[in-house]
Amino acid sequence: MTDTDVAAAQVFIDKWKGVAASELSTSQSFLIDLCELLGVDRPHPTPEQDYMFERPLTFQHADGSTSPGRVDLYRRGAFVLESKKIKAGAHTRGFDETMLRAHSQAQAYARALPAAEGRPPFLLVVDVGHRIEVFSEFSRSGGNYVPFPDPRSHRIALDDLRDPAVRQRLRSIWLDPLALDPSRESARVTRQIAARLAELAKSLEQAGHAPEAVAQFLMRCLFTMFAEDVRLLPADSFRTLLATHRERPDVAMRMLAQLWQDMDGGGFSAVLAEDVLRFNGKLFKQPDTLPLDTAQVDLLIEAARADWKHVEPAIFGTLLERALSPQDRHKLGAHYTPRAYVERLVLPTVIEPLRKAWDEAKAAMLLQLAEAERAREEGMQLGGLKSNAERLKQYNIELRRARDIVLDFHKRLCDVRVLDPACGSGNFLYVTLEHLKRLEGEVLQTLEDSGLSRLGVTEQTGIDVDAERAIATEARTVDPHNLLGIELNPRAAAIAEVVLWIGYLQWHFRTRGDVNPPVPVIRDFRNIENRDAVLAYDRVEYVTDAAGVPVTRWDGETMKLSPVTGEKIPDETARKPLERYVNPRKAAWPQADFVVGNPPFIGNKRMRTALGDGYVEALRGAWGDMPESADFVMYWWHHAAQLTRQGALQRFGFITTNSIRQAFNRRVIEPHLSDKKQPLS
C-alpha cells in the first residue's frame, strides 16, 4: 500500500465521517467519492441502464398490478445498492430497524429486476458517512442474500476503509464479483480430494480389503482430516500422527484406533496428549482400522494435506461415492448434478413456502414494533395520567410480542423435516440444509438488528426474558436432524450422513467464527435409513428348481462386445440368483413436511431386467393401485402425491423425465389431480 493510498483513504474518511446532510443531497456524492477511492468508474447512465444512479424498474404484484421503483445505484451482474442517511445513532432500535428495512428493500429491488438481467450476486446497504453492509447470494437463483463474508465482518465502518484488503474487497464487488464466490475454490479442492481418495481406495482394495470395509475406514479418516482443518482437533494432529509412525504402519493404525475411541468419548487423549471434544454419533463407535503398508500410509498423508475445510458438500458426496465404488471410479471427472439444477427443485418445493411464511412473520414483527413505539409515545403524551412504570410496562409487552413472533418462526424452522426418499450420497439434502441455514441466519440476524435479541439484557427496557424460552432458543438450531433420507446403497447412505455433518459444521464456523459447536459434535439422529423406499419385505429367498439348485438370471449390468456388430450386448455369463420376496408390502416413509429428490428412473420395459422378476412381481403385488405400465419413478411420485392429498406433506418435488407426460404415466397422475374430494393442488 502506497502513501498515496493511505492519504486518499484518510481524506475520504475525514470528509464523510459524521456528515449530517440529508440522504438525497449526500448519497450520490458519497458514492462518487467512494468510486474514486476504489479506482472504479463513476456511475453513468446508458441506454442499457447497466450502471447508473436511480435505475428504474417495475414491481409485479400478485394481484396482477404493477408499481414503479428506483434503485439508488445499480451495476448489472454485480450489485444493487440501497443508500440511507440515518439520524438515529448506531446500536439503537431506530438505526437497526432502518437498516433492516433497507436490506429488505434492496432485496426486493434485486428480485424485481428483469429476468434477462439476472439477480446480482451482491446487495450493498449504505448509511452515508457511517458504514456499508455487504450481502451475497452467489447462486443468483432467488435465495436469500446473507452477510458477506460472514456475519462478523459484513459491516464495513468508515474507518475500516484504511485497510487495503477491505478496499480490494469492495473493488472486486464492482469489477469481478463472482471471483469472491468461495464455492469456486471449493469445487477445485473437492475434485482433488476425491481423486486422491479414489487412488487410495483402489490401493486398499487391491491389497485384498473388502470395498465396504475400505469405505467405512476412509469415511472415518476423511472426517478426522476435516476435523483437524477446522480446529475441532488440534492443528495437524492427524497428519503428525501418520507422519510420526509411517515407518511402522501397524503402530500408526493402533494409534489411530485409539484416537477414534478418544474422539467418540471425549476427554483427555493420550495419543495427542491433549483434551479432545466428544464427537459421539455412530461414526467412531466401531473405530476399526485396516492393516496398511507404508506406501498406503503415504497416500493417506497426501490426502490429509488437502484443505478439507474448503470441501464443497454439494458435490463432495457424489464424487466420494464414485471414488469408493470400483465400477464408478472412472466417472470421477464426469458430470454431476449441478447445484443450480438441484436448487431449481429445492427452492420452489421447500424454501419458497418457508420464505413466504418468514416474510409474513417479519411484516408482523415490524407492525408490532410500530405498536411498541406508539404505546411509548402515547404514554409520554399522557404525561401524569399514567405512571412511568405503566408506560414502560405496555411498551415492554409490545416489544415482547414482536420478539415472540420471530422466535415462533425460528422454532417452526428448526422443527421442519425434509425427506429425500432416494437420497444417494446426500446432494439434495445438503443443498436444502444450506438454504435452511441461510434462512435461519436471516431470522437470527433480524432478531439482532431489530434489537429484540437484547431484551432482558439491557437496562433501558427493563424486560426479564422468560428464562426457559431463552435457553430453548439458544439450544435450538437447524442441523442434520432436519434432513431425512432413505437410500438402498449402504455406501451412499453412510456418505450422506457425513456430508450433512461436514456441511453443517462448515456453516457453524462460517457464522460463529472460532466458537466450537455443542457437544457431542456429531449425533446419531438415525435420519438416513439404509433400506428400500418403495418396497418392504420380511426377507429374500432364492428361487430353486426341482433339484434345489438356485435359478439364475443375467445380472442386468455386465456387458460384452458383440463378436458380430462390435456393440455392447448383455453378457449372459454374468448371472445372479432369482429372488422371491417374502411378505412384500408398501414401504413407509418417515413423517416429513416436504419431500424432494431424484428417484431412480427405470422405464417399465426395463424394470424386470434391471431389478429382477422377483422384485418387480413383489412391487406390483404390494402396489395394486399402480398400473403395471408405470415407470419405476412413478411409485415415488404416487406415494408422495397420496401423502400430500392427505395433508401429511406440504409439498413434494421430484426430478423425472419427459415420459411423465406420456399416457402410461399420466394414468398415475390424473386421479390425484381430478379427485374433487382430495385434489392435488
User: What cell numbers appear for 262 in the block?
Assistant: 478418544
Whether residue 101 has pLDDT greater than 60: yes
- Tell me the pLDDT band of 96, cut-offs 50, 70 and 90: low
**pLDDT, tens digit, for every residue of 223-261?**
999 999 999 999 999 999 999 999 999 999 999 999 999
Dihedral, CA of residue 378, residue 360, residue 441 and residue 151, to nearest 10: -50
- Tell me the pLDDT band of 484, cut-offs 50, 70 and 90: very high
Q: What is the rounded distance in angstroms from the CA atom of residue 65 to the CA atom of residue 207? A: 69
Is the Cα dihedral 383, 388, 394, 398 positive or negative? positive
Mean pLDDT of 272-290: 88
- Tell me the pLDDT band of 289, cut-offs 50, 70 and 90: very high
Q: Which of 139, 539, 613, 513 is nearest to 351 (CA)?
A: 139
User: What cell numbers appear for 401 in the block?
Assistant: 410480542
Whether cis (ω within 30° of 0) applies to the bond prior to 353 is: no
**pLDDT, tens digit, for every residue of 32-63?**
999 999 999 999 988 899 999 999 999 887 77
Provide the 3-class DSSP secondary structure of residue 62: coil
Pick the residue with more confidence: 143 or 517? Answer: 517
**pLDDT, tens digit, for every residue of 617-667?**
999 999 999 998 888 999 999 999 999 999 999 999 998 877 777 777 778
Contact between 513 and 152 under an 8 Å Cβ cutoff? The reply is: yes
- Tell me the pLDDT band of 99, cut-offs 50, 70 and 90: confident
**pLDDT above 70 coverage of the chain, percent:** 88
- Tell me the pLDDT band of 564, cut-offs 50, 70 and 90: confident
Whether residue 616 has pLDDT greater than 60: yes
User: What per-residue confidence (pLDDT) applies to 458?
Assistant: 40
**pLDDT, tens digit, for every residue of 106-141?**
888 998 999 888 899 999 999 888 889 999 988 776
Helices (H), 278-415: 294-304, 313-323, 339-346, 352-382, 388-415
**67-71, 396-400, 672-676: range with lowest mean pLDDT:** 672-676
User: What per-residue confidence (pLDDT) applies to 665?
Assistant: 73
